[in-house]
Structure 1
Amino acid sequence: MNDQTGKLDWNEDGVPISQRFDDPYFSLQDGLAETKHVFLGGNDLPARFVDTFHVAELGFGTGLNLLATWQAWRQSGVEGALHFTSFEAYPLDVTEMRKALDAFPDVSELANELLSRLSATGASCDDLVFSLVVGDARETLPKWQSKADAWFLDGFSPAKNPELWEASLLDHVGSHTRSNGTFATYTAAGFVRRALMDAGFDVQRVQGFGRKRHMSIGTKQA
């Protein structure tokens, strides 16, 4: 998709590790459970789903967050289409994504459906409109013409990927969020929470997933 694709190592449990950031793409304990706790639970999904509900994400990675959300959409029985936009600087190729997602048989059918349709700019199905925005989010997000109902802030660790947690970028997250829209992220770093407050969110620190004591959620003030 891009000559700046992500480069991977694999640990003994088959979890992909970014060479560039020396950080795993998902929880070493259970990536799918982490996604459901942090991003779905943190944004009160699927309870808020309506037709054309729009999720935006910093960091597409293996596509696991999209698959978990799409699965929740289908299971919710909401009619219409889920809209999902991911901003990703270093996309994985389909072979790498497939290998990583093989660890999650619960979403294997959706993974096959997604990967068979995936292009450099996303994929469309009857109930999913997925847009993949490739490039540095600090450059691409300010140009984005839409607003999200919910944000998944899932860049690599702030200590290892500080660019994706800069206050100026998080300010654009705020300006690209609908009133009463939400965000969730696995990190509870103080500087991230303060930046999101400055971006217009009512921010809370809540129980994290697994060994992480805390995570952050928030609602855009009207």
Structure 2
Amino acid sequence: MANQRAKLTWTEDQIPVSDRFDDPYYSLQNGLEETRHVFLAGNDLPARFVPGFRIAELGFGTGLNMLTVWSEWERSGQTTPLSFTSFEAFPMAVEDMDRALQAFPELSPWSERFLAAWNGKTCDLDTLHLEVIEGDARQTLSCWTGSADAWFLDGFSPAKNPELWEADLMQQVADHTATGGTAATYTAAGFVRRGLEEAGFAVTRCSGYGRKRHMTQAVKA
């Protein structure tokens, strides 16, 4: 049975907002810089890049996070594939993805290659192995056989999408993280931080991006 597609409303600034969760897909201020601050710096990337590095993500959305880290992967001189697995319950139509990504012309060398090779589930290029697993991550992550060196926890706001932040799912994230692996998220909600701590992460609250005062970094012992 096919999963439901994302339903969007576009702001005057051409930022997609989820109708289902009433939340924008990326920062209203600067989505690219937010991704760099939260998910790259939050996971100490690109400093940790090595051949075979594996990233996993909750919430693929527009693909902005993947494109941002893939661009840094190539810029850092890596020539082997970056492994990127994302879990997405409500995938965005490719035409909406294309429209959203046009807001980031700096990434167009990567977004154009991605969209040309994207089949809705996978994208295999010389320097990228992408898999997007559709469905509720509370069911799909437990079936995943992979393990990540870094996690991008990028669901919609915990106040509007609490299912993607509950303790059982944070435990699944930990169970699918390599020893010494990391996780980062824009939210500093107390129940999210507690869930990560209970799952076995050492959690740090640090400065957020833009109007968000704090964000969360986590390291698995």
TM over 0.5: yes
- AA of the residue aligned to 1:219: V
Cα root mean square deviation, aligned: 1.0
Match for residue 122 of structure 2? 122
Cα distance, 1:80 vs structure 2: 1.3
Q: Could you list the runs of 4 or more consecutive aligned residues of structure 1 that deviate by over 6 angstroms after TM superposition?
A: none
Identical positions, percent = 58
Normalised by the size of structure 1, how large is the TM-score? 0.98
Query: 1:172-201: CA deviations, max 9, x gaps?
Result: 000000000000000000110000001110
Cα distance, 1:65 vs structure 2: 0.2
Cα distance, 1:81 vs structure 2: 1.2
Match for residue 215 of structure 2? 215
Normalised by the size of structure 2, how large is the TM-score? 0.98
Match for residue 159 of structure 1? 159
- AA of the residue aligned to 2:105: P
Match for residue 32 of structure 1? 32
Structure 2: runs of 5 or more not aligned: none
Cα distance in 2 for residues equivalent to 1:100 and 1:210: 20
- AA of the residue aligned to 1:83: S
Cα distance in 1 for residues equivalent to 2:60 and 2:121: 12
Cα distance in 1 for residues equivalent to 2:214 and 2:66: 23
Cα distance, 1:43 vs structure 2: 0.1
1:1-222 equivalent positions in 2, closer than 5 A:
2-221=2-221
Cα distance in 2 for residues equivalent to 1:145 and 1:197: 23
- AA of the residue aligned to 1:47: A
SS across alignment from 1:218: strand
SS across alignment from 1:12: coil
SS across alignment from 1:62: coil
Deviates further, 114-123 or 166-175:
114-123
Cα distance in 2 for residues equivalent to 1:52 and 1:131: 15
SS across alignment from 2:155: coil
Query: 1:65-91: CA deviations, max 9, x gaps?
Result: 000000000010023110000000000
SS across alignment from 1:52: coil
Cα distance, 1:202 vs structure 2: 0.4
Deviates further, 148-157 or 104-113:
104-113
Contact 2:79 / 2:126 at 8 angstroms: preserved in 1? no
Contact 2:16 / 2:100 at 8 angstroms: preserved in 1? yes
How many residue pairs get aligned? The number is 221
Cα distance, 1:32 vs structure 2: 0.3
